Structure 1
Amino acid sequence: MLGKTILLIVGGGIAAFKALELVRELRRAGARVLPVLTENGARFVTPLSLSALAGEKVRTSLWDLEDEASMGHIQLSRAADLIVLCPATADLMARAATGQANDLAATLLLATDKPVLMVPAMNVRMWLHPAAQRNIERLRGDGVTVMTPDDGEMACGEYGPGRLPEVPAIMAAIAAQFGPKPLAGRHALVTAGPTHEPIDPVRFIGNHSSGKQGFAIAAALAAAGARVTLVAGPVHLATPAGVTRIDVMTARQMQAACEAALPADIAVMVAAVADWRAEAAPAKLKKDGSGPPPLSLTENPDILAGIGHHARRPALVVGFAAETGDLIAHASAKRLKKGADWIVANDVSEGVFGSDHTHVQLITAAGPEDWGPTPKQAVAERLAGRIARHFDGTP
């Protein structure tokens, strides 16, 4: 980070004190730190302490006559190589997600053309609230890097995700913004979400897949420099920054889109493809008291196996296995049968569908690796890193 300029916005929260340690570490790494302290942030750390550690004037207001005489907030938003929001409170992220500009911090985030890294810290219930998750999803879709908070005991006494990541992890995330893109020049094909197989014009065969894991993996691969083609089933998620998205409905449409996306260096087949389809009725099937209509089911194409045994097979094929029992045995057999290099397996009877958390096993030729209970975002980042190391030839 030698010679880089970091614009650090310190939000209001008990974790704000860690921003002082972050400033010290950034200075030690050779970075210049331009500090901005929000009104609520100043309730936890003082401008004097922040200025002393940064060696720079602390900006606190959008209405500073001296600084704003030359539109200082615009200059400040463009002066840095990276903007870091730490701690990123639920309020600040909500205002950033909706494009508000009602104080200096929000205005800087809206006016910048530089990368933004947000380091969240908040109560576990706030982090897990659907409104907060929608805001985070929107920010990531806009290209903002939002770190996953740590699990642990809160200042309020509750336990769960929401703790500010430790300073070394924040430093690593900052360094990654400036580091090499290990998958630059490679093309990754990712599938995500369910498929819907129509029974009639209003009903379909489907499953509970939300697409969250696949979208997170597409975003992580794009952040690592890959050119990503995301073939998405019917889900309502924002397209990750830098990702080319192709929307499909049925298994056959997904298969065709995957075929058209080849050649690729990497295929990560996350989608929960419906195994069967029906011959769709042309009009809505009605109840008439004589029992359910007969459905003639046909097996859908096996997209993972098709990619795993394709003449233009990607150099690395990663499949997903959603099981409800005998996880390791079923996933290991699937890896061999489908021609995949790796299988990411999870037990969906544990409430994985639609959740932001999961518990996966990575199945390779060397055997299973238990990655433990973890957020889906963390799985995506870890998998992207593992893929990058595979191509680098490092363990």
Structure 2
Amino acid sequence: MTSLTASEVPSYLAARPALCGLVDPATLTVSEVGDGNLNLVFICADGAGRRVVLKQALPYVRLVGPDWPMTEERATREANALRVHGQLSDNICRLIDFDADRYVLVLEDLSDHEVLRTRLNAGGPHAGVTEPLAEYVADVAFGTSFLALGEEEFRRRAAAAANPELCAITEDLILTEPFLGAARNSVRPSAEPLVAELQADPAWVDAAMAMKHRFVTVQEALLHGDLHSGSVFVRGTEGSPDFSVKAFDPEFAWYGPVGFDLGLLWANMLFAAARAEVLGDHARARDLVATCEITWDRFRTRLRGHWPDRRCPAKYPDAYLTRWLAEIRADALGFAGCEAARRTIGLAKVSDLETLDDPGYARAATAMLRSSRLLLLRRATLGFDQLVDAFFGLLGSARCAG
């Protein structure tokens, strides 16, 4: 497989029958923008203003280089997730075409959107953004489960969606290395004593390994697999005619525990809240933390709305849903604790934290790491009001300590 270059893209598009008339290759302007860690990404615009995006999987992890080989088949799995999720929700980037020979996805252009993390870091509006994401997770959670598909079809789809190479990245970077230590880990000197303290804490490590066990062994639905604020595009504001929220980049998709997607989203909203607090905007910080409960309420309502459509009501009574929701909530809190540690300690950190000055970083990193322990150890019982109180208490304690 050869990698595309910007100069080759017009002829490539012209040769794809599925793309005929979508854009004009003769007047095309192509920009290679990359997507951060893994792939080649080209934004293509023709003279009439029509646009598409091409994404090609490389045979290695772009963040590291050829020394970290990676299967291009991840593009096939992403294409499958985009097709399936797109049938269930409007809050996912639309797949236009997939070239299985060269591992190229052709996607709708979302250049008129902005990355949610970028908006949050700049202090931009966030009202109403997480609710569509909660509905997206719920729609996919039900629509790809055995409750909607039946057990046999569910098993076939789960087997076909296996994503071992990218799951291994998640298992290492989110669920192992922050807790057991790794050469790829790093923090600023101010956080080193706390990291050492936590990594020597058997309760914290054991709780993380329990979440790794859930990640490896539980198959509930075809998850996005990487639903953080850097994997969400937003346009407009709540109530505006152009308001749009779209998840993208589901190349980590696999059949796993539903709470994983929610947990990653919650942890990233906590990072945004920690940033707002140390920058002096307490009201914004409280609103950002509140999105965790808001998201949960919308997810729970949406999933309950799907419940009457399950295939076998006699086999799966209402008590089943009550138990399942409790499991999803506990999983989400636990995975949020893992993500809070990973984005502070491990590879692929977040700009919410890393762009703070040293005093702000020390305060926010301390609060996120302490919150990681809280979320992991109390995942089965922690209330959202308790999370709010504890989170701001930890931010206050970190300020006093500094």
Q: Please classify the TM superposition score into its range, dividing by the shorter chain length.
A: under 0.3
Structure with greater proportional helix content: 2
Point out the structure with max Rg over C-alpha. 1
Structure scoring higher RCO (CA < 8 A, sep ≥ 6) equals: 2
TM-score, normalization by structure 2 = 0.27
TM-score (normalised: structure 1): 0.28
